[in-house]
Amino acid sequence: MAADLDSHACDARFPGLQAVRLIRRAIDHARLDLKGLRVLTEASVGYRRVAPVVAALAGADEVYAVGRDSVAASRKEAEEQTAYFAEIAHVSSRVKLLSTRLQAPLEAVDIVTDLPGVRPVDESVLRTIADTAAVALLHGTAHWRASDVDVATCRRHGIAVAALDEEAIGLYRYTPLGVLAGLLDLAVEVAGSTVVIAGEAPCVPYVVQALTRLGARVLVAAPQTAGRIELFGGEKAGDAIGDDGVLGRLAEADALVLCPAADVRTVGPGSPVDATLFAAAAPHVAVVGVDAESDLRALASAGLRCRPAGGPAGESDLLPQAVIARHAAALKVAATMTRARKRGSSPLAAEQLAAAEAHAELFPKDLSAVRR
């Protein structure tokens, strides 16, 4: 009998050969070519270890992978798991493991990612890297934090910087995987169940459609019109989870899926809904969240069964394809910008080219317009 797959393994339980196959396919799909470029990214664990291998398999001359202690694992574990995968992919000679980002030869780096091992991308990095380098964020601008990537300093140093247009490259189609895993873990049989989905995140239509196709009745608390929600198979229950009508309908639901917009609290302190009253009204409801950690903590403290879809059951932890697609797309954004800069384009022109050709999402001139 084959061994059970283990995304954190450093042996045959890790589906390394399949991950390499998926990486090569993603590189071909994105037409990603990093030949002649050097990349600063992170060493990590689980499927998140793919970052440096994606860059190396795309032809990068050197990839500097920075490990860091985290809630998920130690720096040593990150280095071990990354090194193991690099060996499987036959790119060990071009993947250099580092303990800090400042150990990289920054003046030679062409691409900087905003992954945890590299953060913060601040003055200490930006004052040293070449002015033709580019910084790529692996999420959209709504998730940007100035403490992670100092975009203002990028502009001051003439460094091209852009985020990833997640919807344009189809990343939201993977979100239902994490939601489904969370529901199953909480013993919610999706087929035949009633699920309330609340929030304004761009992934909501994808989650609604996936759950209805699996046989769930889906009630949606979102500002979209009833007609638009019906297009995805759902029924409009209200505009937000705090509506009296929505709270009343939780009694008929088996589960609640929270999909708030970035930086929006749905339940608990600073939100329209009191977690204790919510739990009293629907004590049986199982709750899954997509980027809703603060809401889930409040509801779990109130006694509800909760599972974060962005944590151990997130799509990036369940299967490798979601995280591979994200990294390949972000590296394409960065490569487009740095090659344009090397040809003499201005930072703004390089960013605009990435928006036109590589699904980049650009920062506005006024950074205060973006959630920080």
Residue 142 burial (10 A CB sphere; 0-12, 13-18, 19+): middle
pLDDT computed for residue 188 by the predictor: 97
Would 16-164+319-369 and 173-315 be classified into the same CATH topology? yes
Give the count of beta carbons closer than 10 Å to the beta carbon of residue 343. 11
CATH number at 173-315: 3.40.50.720
Q: Which residues contact 22 (CB under 8 A, 6 or more apart)?
A: 320, 321, 324
**Whole-number Å distance between alpha carbons of 228 and 282:** 27
pLDDT tens series, the chain, 372 aa: 345 788 999 999 999 999 999 999 999 999 999 999 999 999 999 999 999 999 999 999 999 999 999 887 899 999 999 999 999 999 999 999 999 999 999 999 999 999 999 999 999 999 999 999 999 999 999 999 999 999 999 999 999 999 999 999 999 999 999 999 999 999 999 999 999 999 999 999 999 999 999 999 999 999 999 999 999 999 999 999 888 888 888 889 999 999 998 878 888 777 778 899 889 889 999 999 998 888 999 999 999 999 875 555 566 777 899 999 999 999 999 999 999 999 999 999 999 999 999 999 999 998 987 765
CA-to-CA dists, residue 276 to 63, 220, 269, 282, 307, angstroms: 49, 22, 11, 10, 18
Fold of 16-164+319-369: Rossmann fold (3.40.50)
The answer to whether residues 3 and 13 touch, using CB atoms and an 8 Å cutoff, is: yes
Positive or negative torsion for Cα 206, 207, 213, 218: negative
> Which residue has tokens 């204790």?
276
pLDDT computed for residue 4 by the predictor: 74
pLDDT computed for residue 2 by the predictor: 47
Pairing mode, strands 360-361 and 160-164: antiparallel
Helix/strand/coil (H/E/C) assignment for every residue in 174-240: HHHHHHHHHHHHCCCCCCCCEEEEECCCCCHHHHHHHHHHCCCEEEEECCCCHHHHHHCCCEEEECC
CA-to-CA dists, residue 191 to 92, 123, 194, angstroms: 45, 52, 9
Report long-range pairs for 69-77 (Cβ below 8 Å, ≥24 apart).
70/116, 72/44, 72/45, 72/46, 73/8, 73/44, 73/45, 75/43, 75/99, 77/8, 77/45
Q: Which residues contact 13 (CB under 8 A, 6 or more apart)?
A: 3, 4, 5, 6
pLDDT computed for residue 273 by the predictor: 84
Q: Give me the residue spans of the domains in the chain.
A: 16-164+319-369, 173-315
Nearest alpha-carbon partner for 65 in 88, 95, 91: 95
The answer to whether residues 340 and 193 touch, using CB atoms and an 8 Å cutoff, is: no
Quick one: tokens of 85?
Answer: 């995968």
**Whole-number Å distance between alpha carbons of 241 and 258:** 9
pLDDT computed for residue 1 by the predictor: 36
